[in-house]
Amino acid sequence: MISAAVPADAQVTPAQGYTPPDDTPVIRVGATLFGDYTITTQPKVTDADGNVVTGSAFNVGRAYINITGNISHRIAFRITPDISRETGTGSSLNGSLTYRLKYGYGQFNLDDWMTRGSWVRFGVQQTTWVDFMETLYRYRFQGTIFEDREGFLSSSDFGVSFHYNFKTNYGDLHAGLYNGDTYTRPEANDQKAFMVRATVRPLPTGAPVWRGFRVTGYYDADHYLKKGDRTRGIFGAHFEHPDVNTSFNYLWASDQSRLINPKTARGWEGLLRLDHLNRETSATVKGTTDRTLAGVSYWFPHQGTVSTVLLLDFERVKNKDYTPVRPNEQRWALHMLVNF
């Protein structure tokens, strides 16, 4: 073996093709706005003069200010305040739209040691199921997804979570430990919620038509009291294609949601969503709910991730055999989304 000494001042040339990570601090500011005009044909409402009328209202359902950025290629953050209707009696702000913190977290990227897109987050952040489904269901501006709307899960909570992307686009894993009381309330005791979601893409390198097929499992081990379990499980099957998105989700025990979202190359899309909820296992509320949502939308052409959408939809909710009694609901609405 022959060896040679390298002078102390010799220049060491980086490996050919190596690009050092960009550690330039970056701050981005964006916004998300939901607006709608809704006519509620059922149930009727009674005005201050005692007249039975069909309710209608202009509304702003969401007005995010998104502040995101990177301190370095390893450290990222997000701060997002959101509006909420003030309902405190006796307050001068009663009925006003006020801001509260929806997201506020630091993120440590693990790309240097794991697959790209792997990270750890700490703070008030997205929960594992709702965040995943809202990337598939593009109509959050019409209303929340099934599990969120029925009060089973929340989109945000305080905690710490870990995300890992499987190699070769086979799927991802997202697990976290949260307070379990959502972002709207402080922690009331020592109990925490463990949430985990695993999504698998069985044929990531197969024929293009099959690459959009994914299956998902979700489990939430929560406790509202030390001896009070509150667990939930979900199975989902999803198919994404440039012409159509479909999804079927089954929530323990007898609850399910199905959606179909056909698309066209000219910006026009259709939306059909069917939800079924069976509350027979609840100790305080019993009954079944069937929701039908149908609409047509136009997505204005833009570059990049900017979105502007108009959606005309019809929603009908049938509540059957409820204790206590719940009225049926029926409404028409024109929704708007502006996001940049």
Q: Is the pLDDT of residue 236 over 90?
A: yes
Distance CA 219, CA 327 (A): 32
Q: Residue 20 domain-assigned?
A: no
Number of neighbouring beta carbons within 10 Å of residue 199: 18
Q: Residue 9 domain-assigned?
A: no
- CATH number of the domain that 98 lies in? 2.40.160.10
Q: Residue 261 domain-assigned?
A: yes
Q: Residue 13 domain-assigned?
A: no
Using an 8 Å Cβ cutoff, are 279 and 285 in contact? yes
Q: Is the pLDDT of residue 227 over 70?
A: no
> How confident is the model at residue 207, as a pLDDT?
74
Integer CA distances (angstroms), 186 to 33, 47, 182, 189, in order: 26, 36, 8, 9
> How confident is the model at residue 1, as a pLDDT?
35
Q: What is the mean pLDDT of residues 72-83?
A: 93
> How confident is the model at residue 285, as a pLDDT?
76
Distance CA 128, CA 58 (A): 32
What's the pLDDT band for 4 if we cut at 50, 70, 90? Answer: very low
Residue 276: give the domain boundaries: 26-339
**Residues 7-57: pLDDT tens digits?**
444 444 555 666 788 888 999 999 999 999 999 999 999 988 889 999 999
Residues 237, 241, 245, 250, Cα dihedral to 10°: 0
Q: Residue 87 domain-assigned?
A: yes
Q: Residue 80 domain-assigned?
A: yes
Q: Residue 14 domain-assigned?
A: no
**Residues 307-328: pLDDT tens digits?**
999 999 999 999 998 888 889 9
Mean pLDDT of the chain: 87
**Residues 136-177: pLDDT tens digits?**
898 999 999 988 888 888 999 999 999 999 998 899 999 999
Pairwise pLDDT comparison (96 vs 230), residue with the higher score? 96
Pairwise pLDDT comparison (246 vs 278), residue with the higher score? 246
Number of domains in the chain: 1
Pairwise pLDDT comparison (228 vs 187), residue with the higher score? 187
Pairwise pLDDT comparison (269 vs 211), residue with the higher score? 269
Q: What is the mean pLDDT of residues 191-218?
A: 88
Global pTM value:
0.84
Distance CA 107, CA 161 (A): 10
Using an 8 Å Cβ cutoff, are 217 and 228 in contact? no
Q: What is the mean pLDDT of residues 209-233?
A: 80
Q: Residue 4 domain-assigned?
A: no
